Amino acid sequence: MRNTARKAPPAPVEEEAAAGGVTAVTRALSLMEAFQVGEPSLQLAELSRRTGMHKTTVLRLARTLAQSGYMVQRDDGGWRLGPATGWLGARYQAGFDVNGVVEPALRQLSIATGESASFYAREGDIRACISRVEGPQAVRHHVRIGERLPLDKGAPGKVILAFMGEKGKDYELIRQKGFHISIGEREPEVASVAAPVFGLSWRLLGSMCISGPVARLSLKKLEAHAKTVIAAANELSYALAGSVSEATPKVVSTWHP
Give the Cα separation of 152 and 87 in Å (integer): 29
In the prediction, which pLDDT does 257 show? 35
With a CB cutoff of 8 Å and minimum separation 6, the contacts of 65 are 28, 31, 32, 71, 82
Q: For residue 197, which of 91, 79, 109, 256 has the smallest C-alpha distance?
A: 109
Q: For residue 257, which of 213, 234, 230, 223 has the smallest C-alpha distance?
A: 223
In the prediction, which pLDDT does 252 show? 45
How many C-beta atoms surround the C-beta of residue 118 within 10 A? 27
With a CB cutoff of 8 Å and minimum separation 6, the contacts of 67 are none
Decide if 131 contacts 99 (C-beta within 8 A): no
How many C-beta atoms surround the C-beta of residue 122 within 10 A? 18
186-219 tens-digit pLDDT:
888 889 999 999 877 678 889 999 998 988 989 9
In the prediction, which pLDDT does 38 show? 65
Q: What is the model's pTM?
A: 0.61
Mean pLDDT per 10-residue interval, the chain, length 257 residues: 47 44 85 80 93 93 92 91 75 60 91 93 86 79 79 92 91 93 87 90 87 90 94 89 56 39
Give the Cα separation of 8 and 10 in Å (integer): 6
150 dihedral zone (left: phi>0; alpha: psi -120 to 50; beta): beta
In the prediction, which pLDDT does 18 show? 47
Instruction: For the chain, list the domains and their CATH numbers.
Output: 17-86 (1.10.10.10), 95-252 (3.30.450.40)
